[in-house]
């Protein structure tokens, strides 16, 4: 039997479950207490627990959740399948052109000042690009066709 791949939803749900269990055991917090201390609504916490999301959780909320519970953000980001320490961990000098663009996109998604509508638009575009088939030339030695005026 091979090991089944764990989705980001399942991995993050496990991370959140452990955090809630630890908060209950160490601090006596209920989910309501946890929501109040983290600034994240109960419904969001329950969606995270259920793995009931298609768009990644807002990274600012994940950071707030981790900060309130003294958890390393890197652990939450790993559960989500994101770079270990998140967008802030990348050094500008190490970026190539693609990495620089991805860093800016992640920063916008994590920025609480960016409107939710803009974040939704970014996520929709990323989903489109991720699912778009890659067009490969049929004959790699063929020169591209050019239009001629005439």
| Dist. CA 21–CA 45, nearest whole Å | 13
Give the DSSP letter string of 105-143: HHHHHH-TTS-HHHHHHHHHHHHHHHHSPPP--S-TTSP
Query: Does 8-131 carry CATH code 1.10.260.40?
Result: yes
Say what the pTM is: 0.55
| Dist. CA 38–CA 109, nearest whole Å | 19
What are the helix (H) ranges across 39-96?
42-50, 59-68, 73-80
| Dist. CA 31–CA 42, nearest whole Å | 7
Residue with tokens 């969606």: 47
Q: What residue spans define the domains of the chain?
A: 8-131
Return the pLDDT at 17.
Answer: 94
Return the pLDDT at 143.
Answer: 59
* Residue pLDDT tens, the chain, 150 long: 445 577 889 999 999 999 999 999 999 999 999 999 988 999 999 999 998 887 788 888 998 899 899 888 888 888 888 865 444 444 444 557 777 787 778 777 766 677 878 888 888 888 888 788 888 777 656 556 555 555
């Amino acid at each position: 039997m091979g090991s089944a791949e764990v989705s980001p939803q399942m991995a993050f749900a496990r991370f959140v479950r452990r955090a809630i269990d630890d908060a209950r055991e160490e601090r006596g917090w209920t989910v309501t207490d946890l929501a109040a201390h983290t600034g994240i609504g109960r419904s969001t916490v329950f969606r995270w627990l259920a793995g009931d999301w298609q768009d990644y959780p807002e990274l600012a909320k994940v950071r707030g959740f981790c900060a309130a519970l003294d958890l390393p953000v890197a652990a939450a980001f790993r559960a989500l399948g994101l770079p270990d320490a998140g967008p802030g961990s990348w050094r500008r000098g190490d970026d190539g052109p693609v990495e620089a663009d991805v860093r800016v996109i992640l920063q916008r998604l994590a920025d609480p000042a960016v409107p939710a509508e803009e974040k939704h638009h970014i996520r929709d575009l990323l989903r489109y690009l991720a699912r778009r088939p890659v067009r490969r030339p049929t004959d790699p030695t063929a020169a591209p066709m050019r239009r001629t005026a005439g």
